[in-house]
Structure 1
């Protein structure tokens, strides 16, 4: 048992070390940009899997929480002059507050009704952003959002070197927190409710409270990722609420494998590079999401549990442990 744990620890340490040296050997700023975007999407996908995979809540409003993080951070940093580091935290809190609001009807619903309510919420937030153009910039977006500084270090002129490490650290912290969460008693309780709600309820697990906690926590990480997204790009656009964004991140969750922390992260890295790579080909740019959908079907046919099922057994998430 100890040897398996040591192997897993060494494997994870090797991957972290590899991630740390990437910007030292990859000087192309566009490739660094793709890594940064993939790290952001990895946080969103992994946190979505907390509610979708582990808790079994068909929450289609998760991208809205990401978008709320984008706009809450952008507005507080630009209009209120709040330090961008603190503004990102505001983005996470705002997303959690929105999740708590959505949870009020969702915790009592099942199946397709949860999908309808959460998707309607996402569209409602999009319409609010577009209609309040005086504040949000409407369809033109919010531009020239202040970016982060660290002890006077200039993130804008280092060829995305600093942004890479901030995004990488954010992903590592989020994954570590989510992994610890799903292996805790709380994680066991939400899996129990997902698998057999009546049994979990009979054992004293409060259904509504646990679902509320799941949505709030998962939204917080999505909001933080959204906050860094707008600080990095310095632009907040309504496209973050779009169906293409939702379908791409959902593909990461499904291709990576639900009920897994590492799977969506791996899929985020793969699909981000594939998606952006296809966008560079004029003949494929318009149909890239269709190609990703086909790839998702192929992966799920041969690996029904996603890419996570191809990982070594010692790496797989087992909430029963």
Structure 2
């Protein structure tokens, strides 16, 4: 028995860590080779945005899917990362890489702060408090226009750098691999977390709160840990978004982006992490493919989501599992 086996308990029906690790490495190796197929800047831009969305959506799945906490302030953590990076790098003159990781810490502290009033709340009250938190952050940013630019936002935000490499004329190659590295680190952290004892405890609280508490699981502590864990990479994703786009806007607090990210979580299948990542690819690519449909594009996308959720309530992950089971049965069936 290895140390990993002790730290990560097994469970019936769970894919073994070795198999998941193989799939994890293989999947991200394929993604790393995509620039060889997509050499134009636009395609790489779409992939970079997919990676950013995937980080935010998969971290939301941790609190919403695994933790069962209806944290509708999750996108505020992304926005905090956007503005924290912009203010640190542009206004304070902090090194962009230090500002990037500092933004993740600031978002985590904000998540701990918003957790305090919802430690003992349930259902609709958590939604109201977290939604109010998101609106409060947006109003603070608007009111402090001397620093934040208010409704106009901030422009010419310093970008990241990699030694002397020219990141402007490389066809977005450097930003592609930085975004991919961020997604790899975030996914690895999330999967290790949900397969740990802490992950098992938050699922226990979600499924049967009274029983979990009777077995010694602290509701307040685990709820705070869950939201804090889902905030760090969300804040870094926001910081990377600001560095990549070279601007900060209050649009990141809008319902449009929140709806897109939430759709990715639900369409992919909650309590999977990987589902949100897969849905980020599917929805973004599908939306880009429907660009010529104009105002019909969001309606067609919504229809796609509805059809998939009706046929497979467990989302895209459920569809993939069903297809895999069907193929496996066909292979095993004697001729």
Deviation at 1:208, TM superposition (A): 0.4
Deviation at 1:292, TM superposition (A): 2.6
* Alignment equivalent of 1:227, drawn from 239, 245, 250: 239
C-alpha distance in structure 1 between counterparts of 2:198 and 2:128, whole Å: 27
1:3-24 CA deviation, whole Å, 9 max, x = no partner?
A: 9766654443332221111112
* Alignment equivalent of 2:314, drawn from 294, 305, 308: 305
In structure 1, what is the equivalent of residue 331 of structure 2? none
* Alignment equivalent of 1:50, drawn from 62, 65, 68: 62
C-alpha distance in structure 1 between counterparts of 2:166 and 2:209, whole Å: 51
1:109 aligned to 2:121?
yes
1:17 aligned to 2:29?
yes
C-alpha distance in structure 2 between counterparts of 1:295 and 1:90, whole Å: 38
1:271-321 CA deviation, whole Å, 9 max, x = no partner?
A: 12223343x32x52x4533333222211110110111113349x9xxxxxx
1:66 aligned to 2:78?
yes
Contact 1:248-1:289 at 8 Å conserved across structures: no
C-alpha distance in structure 2 between counterparts of 1:308 and 1:203, whole Å: 31
Deviation at 1:106, TM superposition (A): 1.2
In structure 2, what is the equivalent of residue 318 of structure 1? none
Equivalent positions of 1:30-41 (< 5 A) are 30-41=42-53
1:149 is paired with a residue whose SS is coil
1:172-210 CA deviation, whole Å, 9 max, x = no partner?
A: 110011000000000000000000000000000000010
TM-score by length of 2: 0.88
Unaligned runs of 5+ in 2: 1-12, 325-335
C-alpha distance in structure 2 between counterparts of 1:138 and 1:61, whole Å: 20
C-alpha distance in structure 1 between counterparts of 2:109 and 2:20, whole Å: 36
Deviation at 1:264, TM superposition (A): 0.2
C-alpha distance in structure 1 between counterparts of 2:114 and 2:310, whole Å: 34
C-alpha distance in structure 2 between counterparts of 1:259 and 1:8, whole Å: 15
In structure 2, what is the equivalent of residue 152 of structure 1? 164
C-alpha distance in structure 2 between counterparts of 1:110 and 1:289, whole Å: 32
C-alpha distance in structure 2 between counterparts of 1:4 and 1:104, whole Å: 36
1:215-252 CA deviation, whole Å, 9 max, x = no partner?
A: 11101111011011101110111110000000000000
TM-score by length of 1: 0.92
In structure 2, what is the equivalent of residue 260 of structure 1? 272
1:156 is paired with a residue whose SS is coil
* Alignment equivalent of 2:249, drawn from 237, 245, 251: 237
1:85 aligned to 2:94?
no
Contact 1:43-1:175 at 8 Å conserved across structures: yes
In structure 1, what is the equivalent of residue 229 of structure 2? 217
C-alpha distance in structure 2 between counterparts of 1:94 and 1:276, whole Å: 33
In structure 2, what is the equivalent of residue 294 of structure 1? 303
1:71-105 CA deviation, whole Å, 9 max, x = no partner?
A: 00111000111111111111111111111111011
1:154 is paired with a residue whose SS is coil
* Alignment equivalent of 1:100, drawn from 102, 109, 112: 112
Unaligned runs of 5+ in 1: 316-321
C-alpha distance in structure 2 between counterparts of 1:294 and 1:312, whole Å: 22
Higher mean C-alpha deviation, range 77-86 or range 245-254: 77-86
* Alignment equivalent of 2:191, drawn from 179, 184, 187: 179
C-alpha distance in structure 2 between counterparts of 1:274 and 1:47, whole Å: 22
Please tell me the root mean square deviation across aligned C-alpha atoms, in Å: 1.9
Paired residue total = 310
